[in-house]
Structure 1
Amino acid sequence: MGVNILHSKELEYPIVFDIKTNMPDTLILRYAIYKHQYPGLIDSKLTRKSGKKTVVDAIQRICYLINRLSEQTQIDGTIGTHYLAATFECNMEPLIQAMHHEGAWRGESIEQYVKAWRQFYLFLTLQGVDHEMLMPDVKEVSIYEDQDNNFLSHTSYRRERIGEQETAIDANWKEYQDDYKDSILSIEQFWLLYAEMFKVDAVYAVMAYTELVTCLRVSALVDCFPLGPNKRNPKWLSYKEMKRDEITSQKLRYLAKGGKTKSLLVPVVMMEVFYDIYEKPLTGPDYYQRLKRYQEVYCETKHAINSNYSIDDMPTWLLENGTPVSVRSYQKVMQECAERLNIRAHPHMLRHTGVTQMLYRYIKNNGLLTGFNHTNLMLIADAHIMLQGHLGHVSVETTRRYIKTIERIIKESQLDMLLNSALSISLKHQEMLDTNPRLAKGMTILESALLKADIQLDYNEPV
Structure 2
Amino acid sequence: MYIESVLNSDGTPVPHVEGKLHYPLANYLIWLRKTPMKKGGYREPTTISNVFKHLKMWFDFCFDQNISFDMATYELHLQPFKKLLVSKSVQPQSINGYYRSWRGFYEWCEEQGISTVMSFPPKVEGKENFSGRSRNFNSRTTGRTLQIDPGLETVATVLDYKDCILNMDEYARFSEILAEVDPVYGSISYMMVTTGLRIGGVMQIPLGSNKLNPRWLRYPELEASGETIQKLKYLPKGNKRVLNCIVPAAALKKIHYDYIVGHRKARAKVFSERFRSQIAPFWLTASGKSVEKNDIWEAFKKASAKFGRRVVPHHMRHTYATYIVYNYFKAHGLTPNLAYAHDIHEALRAQLGHSDFEVTKRYIRTVIRTHTDIWLPKLTPHLGQAVHREMPSEVLAAVIEFFEPYSDQGEE
TM-score where L is the length of structure 1? 0.62
Distance 1:244 1:138, change over 3 A: farther
Q: What does residue range 6-85 of structure 1 map to in structure 2 within 5 Å?
A: 16=12, 28-34=29-35, 50-53=38-41, 55-56=42-43, 60-66=46-52
Counterpart residue number, 1:432: none
Counterpart residue number, 1:280: 261
Q: Distance in 1 between matches of 2:311 and 2:128?
A: 38
Say whether residues 1:361 and 2:327 are aligned partners: yes
2:206 is paired with a residue of what secondary structure? coil
Q: 2:36·2:43 contact (CA, 8 Å) conserved in 1?
A: no
Distance 1:51 1:340, change over 3 A: closer
2:406 is paired with a residue of what secondary structure? helix
Q: Distance in 1 between matches of 2:182 and 2:354?
A: 33
Q: Distance in 1 between matches of 2:86 and 2:220?
A: 41
Distance 1:120 1:176, change over 3 A: same
Counterpart residue number, 2:273: 296
- Aligned equivalent of 1:202, options 179, 183, 192: 183
Q: Distance in 1 between matches of 2:167 and 2:175?
A: 12
1:212 is paired with a residue of what secondary structure? helix
Number of equivalences? 342
- Aligned equivalent of 2:108, options 110, 123, 134: 123
| Paired letter, 1:409 | T
Q: 2:13·2:49 contact (CA, 8 Å) conserved in 1?
A: no
Q: Distance in 1 between matches of 2:201 and 2:187?
A: 15
1:112-160 deviations in whole A, cap 9, x for unaligned?
6752564246436755889xxx998533354344999xxxxxxxxx999
Say whether residues 1:165 and 2:150 are aligned partners: yes
1:178-231 deviations in whole A, cap 9, x for unaligned?
111111112211101111122222111101111111212223333x22222222
1:265 is paired with a residue of what secondary structure? strand
Q: Distance in 2 between matches of 1:242 and 1:386?
A: 24
| Paired letter, 1:357 | Y
Poorly superposed stretches of 4+, deviation over 6 Å: 67-70, 96-100, 158-162
Q: Distance in 1 between matches of 2:87 and 2:198?
A: 14
Say whether residues 1:143 and 2:128 are aligned partners: no
Q: 2:161·2:362 contact (CA, 8 Å) conserved in 1?
A: yes
- Aligned equivalent of 2:167, options 182, 186, 199: 186
Q: What does residue range 362-401 of structure 1 map to in structure 2 within 5 Å?
A: 362-365=328-331, 367-370=332-335, 372-374=336-338, 376=339, 379-401=340-362
Post-superposition shift, 1:240? 1.3
Distance 1:314 1:2, change over 3 A: farther
Distance 1:160 1:217, change over 3 A: closer
Counterpart residue number, 2:303: 337
Say whether residues 1:253 and 2:201 are aligned partners: no
| Paired letter, 1:243 | E
Q: Distance in 1 between matches of 2:95 and 2:157?
A: 14
Distance 1:61 1:117, change over 3 A: farther
Give the share of equivalent positions with the same residue, in percent.
25
Say whether residues 1:176 and 2:157 are aligned partners: yes
Counterpart residue number, 1:237: 217
Counterpart residue number, 2:200: 219
1:86-117 deviations in whole A, cap 9, x for unaligned?
xx99xx979x879995xx8x83x874675256
Q: 1:5·1:17 contact (CA, 8 Å) conserved in 2?
A: no
| Paired letter, 2:265 | Y
| Paired letter, 2:248 | P
Structure 1 residues not aligned, in runs of 5+ = 7-14, 19-24, 37-49, 75-87, 149-157, 300-309, 426-463
1:52 is paired with a residue of what secondary structure? coil
Distance 1:137 1:290, change over 3 A: farther
| Paired letter, 2:211 | K
Say whether residues 1:405 and 2:370 are aligned partners: no
| Paired letter, 2:50 | Y
| Paired letter, 2:47 | R
Q: Distance in 1 between matches of 2:127 and 2:312?
A: 36
Q: Distance in 1 between matches of 2:237 and 2:299?
A: 23
Counterpart residue number, 2:69: none
Q: 2:128·2:145 contact (CA, 8 Å) conserved in 1?
A: no
Q: Distance in 2 between matches of 1:238 and 1:187?
A: 27
Post-superposition shift, 1:16? 4.6
Q: Distance in 2 between matches of 1:159 and 1:289?
A: 57
1:278-300 deviations in whole A, cap 9, x for unaligned?
0013xxxx312101111224x4x
Post-superposition shift, 1:330? 1.6
1:55-87 deviations in whole A, cap 9, x for unaligned?
437x652233447999xxx9xxxxxxxxxxxxx
Higher RCO structure, 1 or 2 (CA under 8 Å, sep 6+): 1
Structure 2 residues not aligned, in runs of 5+ = 15-25, 61-76, 131-142, 375-397
Q: Distance in 1 between matches of 2:98 and 2:216?
A: 33
CA RMSD of aligned residues (A): 4.4
Distance 1:116 1:279, change over 3 A: same
TM-score where L is the length of structure 2? 0.69
1:165 is paired with a residue of what secondary structure? coil
Counterpart residue number, 2:251: 270
Say whether residues 1:419 and 2:404 are aligned partners: yes
Q: Distance in 1 between matches of 2:250 and 2:119?
A: 51
Counterpart residue number, 1:305: none
Counterpart residue number, 2:282: 316
1:409 is paired with a residue of what secondary structure? helix
Q: 1:191·1:423 contact (CA, 8 Å) conserved in 2?
A: no
1:218-254 deviations in whole A, cap 9, x for unaligned?
23333x2222222232222211121111122222222
| Paired letter, 2:291 | V
